[in-house]
A and B are shown apart, each in its own frame.
Chain A
Amino acid sequence: MHLLETRNLTVRFGGVTAIDNLSLTVGEGEIRGLIGPNGAGKTTFFNAVSGRYPSSGEIRVRDHVVSGLKPNEIVAQGLARTFQHVTLFKSFSVLKNVMAGCHLRSGYSFWGALLGTPRTRQNEADNERRAREILDFVGLGGLADETAANLPHGLQRAVGIAVALASEPQMLMLDEPCAGMNTAETRSMSDLIRRIRGNGTSIILIEHDMKVIMGICDQITVLNFGTKIAEGSPEEILRNTAVHKAYLGSAADAS
């Protein structure tokens, strides 16, 4: 049984086929790299799997068919994601961002919240504790009360990951987590990704920084024009001629 499996996944926008018959499996505890030139369909794949875009074909999580579910239902299945552009509740404090991220695990009920029952208060206290734990885990423990918008770019990305982790996913889809980061930040981000996996969460990673990809991924899938052109361990991918060809066609993207 695979954690995530897509069968013949296809996404079309009008006449353009962005993902074409993509079949892919990701096992538990795996870090999977997803690479390919710009426009290869990597982010579209995330959007399709996370329920943002409609798709045809099949998406399964632990053998449950989740195709056609809405994003919030997909998250409930244990699939969380981050976004290419930093996406946060910018006017919230960092802590509140993560607490909002706890939504699915918060034991929320409308009436409980309205009446402020002891149970709700207990739940919210738990949520806050958990949120602080997650912040400590991603290394933001000291910034809990900062307004998210006030943080530098790199830290905002880390908050984004913390928010996604708050739903306690089995699989985390990271869309270019190291974009716009310097070497030191990139290194600590790689480290964070490894530690997340260490907690038992699988990861799919879109990243242009080949050092990151090659350094941390167990398996790599290469997309071009919406189709899978190669799959394998980092070493295999480095040797693959089709991959080189695809990247030579648009050399700038590989940097």
Chain B
Amino acid sequence: MKVEQGTAAAQADGKGNAAPPSLNRYAWAALFAFTLAYPAAVSFDNYLLHVGITIAFNVALAASMWLIWSLGLVSFAHAGFMAIGAYTSALLLTKLGWPMWIGMPLGAILAGAAAVAISLPLMRTRAVYFFMASWSVGEVIKRTIAYFDGLTGGWNGVFDILPPTIDLGPIQINFADRIAYYYLAVVICAIIVLCIYRINDSRTGMIHWSISENELLAEHIGINVFKHKVIGFTIACVFAAVTGALYAHYQTFISPKSFDIWKSEFALVHIIVGGLTTVGGPVVGAISLTVIDETLRATGPFRVILFGVILIATVLLLPGGLETIPGRIRRALRGRKSS
């Protein structure tokens, strides 16, 4: 039987047929090893450690947003849920003196509860309407925080959100130290990415992509689409909240403006540039774009323009994003060999 050449779209979204798993695993291991060795590699340069920490935040944020994307949804509520995690942890510390180790899980629980509650109505909407509805959710969260200024400090924000410490007698770590915080951020970010990788790699991931591909069929093979959407969305929001708490204790200052629409937009840009079909996409996208953004800082007024040019160029010249590069190289090599 002759099989016809597939459409370009089907080839670009090769969800069924990604890179060989072994190669994938080596790439992940190499990345993680590099991450661990990074502080030494940059000879403990404080500023470059800061860049590393920023990358960890962005990776966690983009990866968790990508988890929602695997359900076929683009959520702009992400910055809002990040704010819930950040504010919960920050306020528990500054008002009650509870450390981040309590504040972060509580923030995650609160964000999870909020995500479940809001997604019951939210999941009625689809595609670009969902996008706008989730955007509304994010804006309302941000502005509600600003509105209740007695509790949250309003636009003034929250100051002195100290980094946590560990005091176990012989082992004492103060995360105010940049290296310590770097490893904290990297470990939490790695856990988040690992969780998302596992979710995506398991049947849950298959369910997500089924819903994303064809909601109607997914429903008619017995998948409870609504339930899985709510669960997936909630998990992603919990991760966003954890990232938010981590962000708050590193920045030591947050205000509603820290969680405006651009936070969500940049996470989305990271995903698009990195690639949409594997969790490697958001990871690579967040890493490379954060580095580029930091580098462009010195170009002043041209920073944003150059960022825009890079964004458009990637979308047009590298459809499928950075994650397709290994496949392209492999195909190119194979092409050369066979010819």
Contacts and interface: CB of A to CB of B under 8 A. Distances in A.
Interface in A66-83: 70-72, 75-76, 80-81, 83
Given A70-B219, A110-B231, A152-B3, A100 B17 contact: no
Contact of B220 (A71, A114, A149): A71
Interface residues of B, number: 38
B10 interface: yes
A75 B220 contact: yes
A71 B218 CA distance: 9
Interface string A154-184: 0100000001101100000000000000000
Contact of B202 (A80, A104, A114, A142): A114
Contacts of B207: 100, 103, 108
Interface in B1-22: 1-7, 9-11, 13-17
Most chain A beta-carbon contacts within 10 A, residue among B2, B5, B6, B222 = B222
Nearest to B7: A149
B36 interface: no
B199 interface: yes
Interface stretch (B170-178, B209-217, B300-308): B209-217
Contacts of A145: 17
B198 interface: yes
B309 interface: no
Interface of B: 1-7, 9-11, 13-17, 195, 198-199, 202-204, 206-207, 209-210, 213-214, 216-225, 231
Given A72-B221, A92-B209, 6 more contacts: A50-B220, A76-B222, A106-B203, A108-B207, A113-B204, A142-B1
Interface of A: 50, 52, 70-72, 75-76, 80-81, 83, 87-93, 95-96, 99-101, 103-104, 106, 108, 110, 113-116, 120, 124, 142-143, 145-147, 149-152, 155, 163-164, 166-167
